[in-house]
Copies of this chain bind each other. A is one copy, B any other.
């Protein structure tokens, strides 16, 4: 068995949860934060059989990959009211995933 540790953006965390449930993958999650940006993220721990590791990686990749998204910035307060805000392209998502060997796995 392997332990998959996946650190994903909060934005994608709930969708990943649903994807895991739909695929009968049992995962444990907790809130974490990054060291560069203090932004919150979510870390998943998933214990899986060796032959399911690729499936889990694929699901994380499909659900959480870094991608660009158009976002309309909020109107600046006290700004020129004649000014419009235009959607800008921002990077969202992204996942860091580590696969570790497990020596033994138990359920009590």
Contacts and interface: CB of A to CB of B under 8 A. Distances in A.
B2 A21 contact: no
Interface residues of A, number: 46
Contact of A21 (B30, B35, B65, B66): B35
Contacts of A17: 35
Interface string A6-23: 010000000001001100
23 contacts: A2-B103, A17-B35, A20-B35, A21-B35, A26-B36, A28-B33, A28-B34, A28-B43, A28-B96, A29-B33, A29-B34, A29-B35, A35-B44, A47-B98, A57-B106, A61-B108, A96-B105, A96-B107, A97-B105, A98-B102, A98-B106, A99-B106, A100-B102
